[in-house]
């Protein structure tokens, strides 16, 4: 009698996105029994589902083209689905693997995700949402549910699928949720009329006459980004770089950055916008208790870091005794470019 294997009959054609970035940062070779046992021990003794192990032996981690899973409850991503970026490999050598530099273990230890099991997939929100195996009901040796955990909603937990195989079989391409026109209209409304982060409001007031009509310029730049992409998102492009520069300049009107991380990443202990001025709370995420509308709801930290490193290497951002700031020449160039954004 032939034993049925997980994913028998499942069509993997068009499932994985084996681009160079995925192969370098997500994918690992198929795991051995010894590696699986050591990873399970490192994850806290949780037995990985047989379907997860089977999938890893077919293709161990990676970005996926079928990156959306339907939901019956609203998530921080959408009303009717949740999106993922990639699946964590069973291993520890790739950056986004279970025990890798930025994988499941890192998310619990450094991002304070609840110790309910094992993280298995990241999302486009760059760490502020996580897909996890939830072992609370079944115990460490049982068959866990797959859940969505939203850091920005006080780590709320929502069931996605009854088990791992069901989760994988339920993934569909983003085109199934083609709301491009609605998304574009919502993005235009947000950048043209949405409320600004309290940090940005304070910073615009602080720069005063240095940037006349600063709010109009900020909104005009954001509208250009939406017109170019169809949605409000920051990547590795000219207008995104200009927005990074504007945010850093505004941030510098309130305090001096001691490091890249101090400028960009929200402190874990911060409970208000006054406590935690940073790039993330200026234009990316809001506080659940005090939301604002002019935001991207996600970003790739690597794009911002590449911009920062290029500015430091090129002498536009200089390290001084008190921290990092734009040089006077770079500031003048930035303001000159911004002055042309909104037109006469």
Nearest to 234 by CA among 195, 202, 282, 192: 282
Separation CA 253–CA 256 (nearest Å)? 8
Nearest alpha-carbon partner for 320 in 247, 243, 259: 259
* pLDDT tens profile 135-161: 999 999 999 999 999 887 888 999 999
For residue 178, pLDDT over 70 is answered with no
**Averaged over 255-280, what is the pLDDT?**
89
pTM above 0.85, yes or no: no
Q: Among candidates 63, 52, 83, which has minimal Cα distance to 23? A: 63
> What is the chain's mean pLDDT, rounded?
91
pLDDT of residue 162 exceeding 90: yes
Tokens in use for 233?
A: 């998102």
Name the nearest CA neighbour of 22 among 75, 67, 77. 67
**Burial degree of 214 (CB within 10 A; 0-12, 13-18, 19+):** buried
193-207, 243-257, 281-295: range with lowest mean pLDDT: 281-295
pLDDT at 179: 67
Torsion of CA 308, 183, 120, 64, to 10 degrees: -90
- Report the C-alpha gap between 200 and 198 in whole angstroms: 5
Could you give the 3-state DSSP secondary structure of residue 132?
A: strand
What pLDDT band is residue 69 in, cutting at 50, 70 and 90?
A: very high
Which tens digit of pLDDT belongs to each residue from 218-237? Answer: 999 999 999 998 889 999 89
Of residues 342 and 316, which shows the higher confidence score?
316
pLDDT value at residue 298? 85
Kindly state the average pLDDT of the residues 40-56. Answer: 96
| Model confidence at 1: pLDDT above 60 | no
pLDDT at 2: 56
């Amino acid at each position: 009698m032939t034993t049925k294997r997980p994913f028998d009959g499942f069509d993997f054609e068009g499932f994985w996105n084996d681009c160079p970035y995925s192969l370098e940062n997500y994918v690992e070779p198929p795991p051995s029994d010894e590696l699986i046992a050591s990873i399970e021990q490192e994850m806290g003794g949780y037995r990985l589902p047989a379907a997860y192990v089977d999938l890893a032996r077919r293709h161990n981690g990676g970005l996926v083209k079928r990156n959306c899973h339907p939901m019956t409850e609203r998530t921080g991503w959408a009303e009717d689905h949740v999106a993922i970026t990639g699946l964590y490999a069973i291993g520890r050598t790739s950056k986004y693997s279970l025990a890798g530099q930025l994988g499941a273990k890192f998310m619990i230890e450094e991002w304070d995700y609840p110790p309910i099991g094992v993280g298995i997939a990241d999302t486009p929100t760059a760490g502020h949402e996580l897909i996890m195996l939830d072992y609370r009901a079944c115990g460490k040796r049982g068959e866990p549910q797959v859940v969505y955990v939203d850091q920005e909603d006080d780590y709320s937990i929502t069931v996605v699928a009854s088990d791992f195989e069901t989760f994988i079989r339920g993934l569909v391409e983003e085109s199934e949720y083609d709301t491009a026109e609605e998304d574009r209209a919502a993005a235009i409304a947000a950048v043209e009329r949405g409320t600004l982060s309290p940090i940005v409001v304070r910073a615009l007031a602080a720069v005063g006459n240095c940037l006349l009509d600063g709010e109009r310029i900020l909104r005009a730049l954001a509208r250009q980004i939406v017109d170019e992409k169809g949605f409000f998102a920051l990547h590795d492009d000219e207008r995104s770089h200009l927005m990074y520069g504007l945010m850093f300049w505004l941030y510098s009107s309130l305090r001096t950055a001691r490091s890249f991380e101090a400028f960009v990443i929200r402190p874990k202990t911060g409970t208000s916008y006054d406590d935690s001025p940073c790039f993330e709370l200026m234009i990316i995420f809001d506080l659940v208790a005090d939301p604002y509308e002019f935001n991207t709801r996600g970003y790739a930290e690597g794009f911002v870091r590449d911009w920062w490193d290029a500015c430091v290497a090129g002498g536009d951002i200089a390290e001084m005794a008190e921290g990092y700031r734009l040089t006077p020449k770079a500031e003048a160039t930035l303001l000159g470019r911004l002055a042309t954004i909104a037109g006469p």
